[in-house]
Amino acid sequence: MATSGQTPDFLGPNDKSAREPRSMMPWVVAGIFVLLVLGIFLARGHHGPPPNPGGAGLAPPDPYAASLTISNVQMSEASSVAGGKATYVDGAIANHGDKTVSGITVQVAFRDFTNQLVQKETMPLNLIRTHQPYIDTQPVSAAPIKPGESREFRLIFDHLAQDWNQNYPEIRIIEVNFR
């Protein structure tokens, strides 16, 4: 038997495993590295479910929606300095009814290539107040739409489903408020 400070007989003179305990530090560093890579992969690949997922379809239109006409719909995109992207849906809305409209809620439906609903958003319709130096919007309540009037509007989306077919979305008026 070996005495203290000597290598046991069954170990060769170059076998350090008996003399030095193995460090767990390389395993800890490797584990942290794997977790970081996995976290980055999941953060980039996971966008979460879109707001208001399309399971139940669209809400029924408001009865007064038949008196409101949406036209001249156009879409555009803008990128921010921080790397984000916003999608804009602009158009015009005309009030052909006999009431002054002070609020409009719309549901916007984005579909995929098989015409399945992949994202729907419920939001207030905002009117364009100014075009210069940039487009500024305001709620309908700030400038109610009287009978016979037409106004420009803008809807803003920070995220759209990846499988959206790139066609114009369906815009449905689901709630109308009056003054």
Mean pLDDT of the chain: 84
Residue 1 reports pLDDT greater than 90:
no
Dump pLDDT digits (tens) for 125-141. 999 998 888 888 999 99
Residue of 87, 79, 105, 56 lying closest to 166 (CA atoms):
87
Tell me which amino acid residue 1 is.
M
Give me the pLDDT at residue 29, please.
Answer: 81
Residue 110 C-alpha from the chain's centroid: 12
What is the per-residue pLDDT for 28? 81
Mean pLDDT of 46-65: 67
What's the fold here for domain 63-178?
A: Immunoglobulin-like (2.60.40)
Phi and psi at residue 74, to the nearest 5°: -140, 150
> For residue 65, is pLDDT > 80?
yes
Above 90 in pLDDT, residue 41? no
What does the pLDDT read at residue 79?
86
Q: What pLDDT score was predicted for residue 53?
A: 43
* Whole-number Å distance between alpha carbons of 4 and 86: 72
Q: Where are the domains of the chain?
A: 63-178
Task: Identify the pLDDT of residue 84.
Answer: 83
Q: Which residues of 150-178 are buried (b: 16+ CB within 10 A; e: fewer)?
A: ebebbbebeebbeebeeeebebbbebbbe
- C-alpha to C-alpha distance for 167 and 112, rounded to whole angstroms: 9
Question: Is residue 34 over pLDDT 90?
Answer: no
Query: Which pLDDT score is estimated for 43?
Result: 67
Radius of gyration of the chain (CA): 31
